[in-house]
Structure 1
Amino acid sequence: MFGFANALLLALFAAAAVDLIASWHRCGGPAAALRCLWKQEHLLFGPWGEAARLRLGQYAFCLGLALYEFTVVFCNSTAREHWPWLQARVSPVLDTVMYLAFFAKILLGTRYNWRNLGLAGALYFIARWVYFNGQNIWFLGLAVVLLAAKDVPLRRAMKAFLGCGVPTLALVEILHFAGILAPGATSERDGSYRLLFGYGHPNTFGGIVFGLVLAWVLLRRAKLRWVELAGVAAVAVFLLVGPASRSAALCMLLLALLLAAAKLVGHRPAPKPLAALCAALVALVGAVSMILPLFVIKIGPWANAIGPAWLRRLDELLTCRISLSWAAYRMYDVKIAGQMLMEWPILDNIFVYLLYQFGPVLLLIAAVLMMVALYGYARRGSWQEVTCLVAVLLYGYMETQVLHITSDPAALLLCGAIFAVPISRWNNESES
Structure 2
Amino acid sequence: MLSLFTTGIYGYLDLVLIGWALGLVWLAGRALLKKVPFAQKVRSGLGEEVYLFGNWAAPQREEIGGWLFLVSMALLQFDMFFMNSYVRESGAGWYAFLAPKLEIVYFWLIIVKMVFFTRYSGLQLGAGFCFLFVFRWVFLNNGHFWPVVGMLYFLAAKDIRTRRTLKVCLAVSAASFFAVVFSASMGWIKTIQDIGDIRPRDSFGYGWFNLTGAILLAVCIMYVCWRQVSKLKWFDFALLAAAMVFCDRGPDSRAAAICIALLIVLAALLRFLPGVARPVWVRVVVSAAPAMAFAVSLLGGWLYKADSPVWVKLDILLSNRLSYTSQALVQSSIAIAGQRLTDSGFLVDNFYVNLWIYGGPVESLLFWGAVAVLLWRLLKKGALTESACLVVLLAHAVMETHFAWPCINVVLWLLPCVLYLLPGERTPSFAPKEKQI
The TM-score range, normalised by the shorter chain, is: over 0.9
**Matched residues in 1 for 2:58 and 2:385: separation?**
33
Contact 1:296 1:307 in 2 (8 A): no
Q: 1:133 offset after TM fit, Å?
A: 0.9
Q: Which residue of 2 aligns with 1:33?
A: 41
Q: What are the within-5 Å matches in structure 2 for residues 225-244 of structure 1?
A: 225-244=233-252
Q: Which residue of 1 aligns with 2:271?
A: 263
Q: 1:307 offset after TM fit, Å?
A: 2.5
Q: Which residue of 2 aligns with 1:338?
A: 338
Contact 2:334 2:357 in 1 (8 A): yes
Which of 245-254 and 35-44 deviates more?
35-44
Name the aligned partner's letter for residue 71 of structure 1: D
Contact 2:163 2:430 in 1 (8 A): no
Q: Which residue of 2 aligns with 1:396?
A: 397
Q: What are the within-5 Å matches in structure 2 for residues 103-142 of structure 1?
A: 103-142=111-150
Q: Which residue of 1 aligns with 2:217?
A: 210
Which of 285-294 and 26-35 deviates more?
26-35
**Matched residues in 2 for 1:279 and 1:102: separation?**
30
Q: Which residue of 1 aligns with 2:4?
A: none
Q: Report how many aligned residue pairs link the two structures.
A: 423
Contact 1:338 1:357 in 2 (8 A): yes
Q: What are the within-5 Å matches in structure 2 for residues 20-419 of structure 1?
A: 20-28=28-36, 30-85=38-93, 88-182=96-190, 186-190=193-197, 192-221=199-228, 222-266=230-274, 270-297=278-305, 306-342=306-342, 344-419=345-420
Contact 2:141 2:340 in 1 (8 A): yes
Contact 1:197 1:243 in 2 (8 A): yes
**Matched residues in 1 for 2:293 and 2:419: separation?**
21
* TM-aligned CA distance change 1:165 to 1:12, over 3 Å: same
Q: 1:30 offset after TM fit, Å?
A: 4.6
Unpaired segments ≥5 residues, structure 1: 298-305
Given the two structures, how large is their TM-score scaled by the length of structure 2?
A: 0.92
Contact 1:278 1:374 in 2 (8 A): yes
Which of 412-421 and 145-154 deviates more?
412-421
**Matched residues in 2 for 1:428 and 1:81: separation?**
39
Secondary structure in structure 1 of the residue aligned to 2:246:
helix
**Matched residues in 1 for 2:299 and 2:402: separation?**
22
**Matched residues in 1 for 2:226 and 2:359: separation?**
32
**Matched residues in 2 for 1:229 and 1:191: separation?**
28
Contact 1:267 1:383 in 2 (8 A): no
Secondary structure in structure 1 of the residue aligned to 2:397:
helix
Kindly report the root-mean-square deviation, in angstroms, between the aligned alpha carbons of the 2 structures. 2.0
**Matched residues in 2 for 1:91 and 1:251: separation?**
31
Contact 2:76 2:103 in 1 (8 A): yes
**Matched residues in 2 for 1:188 and 1:8: separation?**
47
Secondary structure in structure 2 of the residue aligned to 1:26:
coil
Unpaired segments ≥5 residues, structure 2: 1-8
**Matched residues in 2 for 1:395 and 1:406: separation?**
15
